[in-house]
Amino acid sequence: MPINIKAVKKIMINNGMTPDDLAKTMKVSKSRVSKLLNDSNSNSQFKTIYSLAKALKVKPAEIIKEEVE
C-alpha cells in the first residue's frame, strides 16, 4: 500500500516531530525513516504502515494514499 507522504509530513509538523523523533518512536533506523519519507512510490507492508500510524498517533487510513485510476 502506498503511503501518503504529504499527509505524514503534515502530521509530523503539526506534532512538532522530526524524522529522528519518528525513527526513535518507531524503533527503526533514521535511514529507514528517510527512505519512507522520500520514496513517494514505495508500497509498504501493512506492518510498516501500522507502526508509522501508531508513532504519529493517527489511524492507518489517514496516511494511506488513495489510488486513483
The residue with greater pLDDT, 61 or 67, is 61
Instruction: Work out the average pLDDT over 25-32.
Output: 94
Q: What CATH number did the domain enclosing 29 receive?
A: 1.10.260
Which 3 state secondary structure label does DSSP give 17?
coil
Judge whether residue 68 has pLDDT over 60: no
Decide if 40 is inside a domain.
yes
Instruction: Work out the average pLDDT over 25-54.
Output: 88
The total of structural domains in the chain comes to 1
Range of the domain at 52: 5-56
How far apart are the C-alpha atoms of 2 and 39, rounded to whole Å? Answer: 10
Query: How far separated are the first and last CA of the chain, in Å rounded?
Result: 15
Which 3 state secondary structure label does DSSP give 2?
strand
The residue with greater pLDDT, 45 or 25, is 25
How far apart are the C-alpha atoms of 60 and 52, rounded to whole Å? Answer: 8
